[in-house]
């Protein structure tokens, strides 16, 4: 090995060794402990209260149920007066919106936003496990968090 090669090798070896001795660990942003979210879509008092304008005559939705353990799906049409009972789940439709938007004071119906959503109540073994909005466009982000079931909103009929 030439003198230049040994010098470069020695430089890199010293550089690597000196960086290993650095005890100052800086916390990377993704390592910082999670803080409560300010996102109004997450579970909050707003999620538990359905606005009066969301209850409409003739409202209906189409939902999908997924059994995570069986990898099997079922589709149901749900109206205001008829609840869906499937195995240990019961789902009730309470309200709908084609144009749901979150405002400073809560949920509003904004005709300029295409965001179909349904306000539902889900029971598991006759205990409420979810009450709030399901979003057609974001089915995996908001809704029931259950190790056994996933519930998606496929379509909203105003």
Instruction: For residue range 112-139, list pLDDT tens digits in order.
Output: 888 888 999 999 999 999 999 998 887 7
* Cβ 66 vs Cβ 57: under 8 Å: no
**pLDDT tens, position by position, 11-39:** 777 666 665 555 555 555 544 444 444 55
Of 52, 48, 34, whose CA–CA distance to 132 is shortest?
Answer: 48
Of 56, 65, 140, 63, whose CA–CA distance to 98 is shortest?
Answer: 56
Sorted by where each begins, the domain ranges of the chain are 45-157
Q: Give the number of C-alpha atoms closer than 13 A to the C-alpha of residue 117, restricted to the C-beta side.
A: 28
DSSP state of 99: B
The residues facing 79 across adjacent strands are 60, 82
Quickly state the pLDDT bin for 101 (edges 50, 70, 90).
Answer: confident
pTM of the model: 0.67
| CB neighbours of residue 152 within 10 Å | 19
């Amino acid at each position: 090995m030439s003198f230049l090669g040994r010098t470069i090798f020695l430089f890199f070896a010293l550089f690597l060794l000196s960086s290993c001795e650095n005890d100052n660990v800086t916390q990377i942003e993704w390592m910082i402990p999670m803080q409560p979210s300010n996102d109004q879509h997450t579970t909050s008092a707003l999620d538990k209260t359905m606005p009066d304008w969301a209850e409409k005559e003739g409202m209906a939705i189409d939902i999908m149920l997924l059994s995570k353990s069986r990898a099997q799906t079922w589709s149901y049409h749900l109206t205001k007066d008829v609840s869906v009972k499937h195995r240990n789940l019961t789902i009730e439709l309470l309200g709908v919106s084609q144009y749901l938007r979150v405002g400073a004071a809560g949920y509003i119906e904004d005709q300029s936003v295409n965001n179909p959503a349904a306000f539902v109540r889900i029971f598991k073994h006759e205990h409420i496990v979810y009450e709030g909005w399901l979003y057609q466009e974001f089915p995996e982000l908001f809704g029931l968090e259950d190790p056994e079931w996933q519930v998606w909103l496929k379509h909203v009929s105003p």
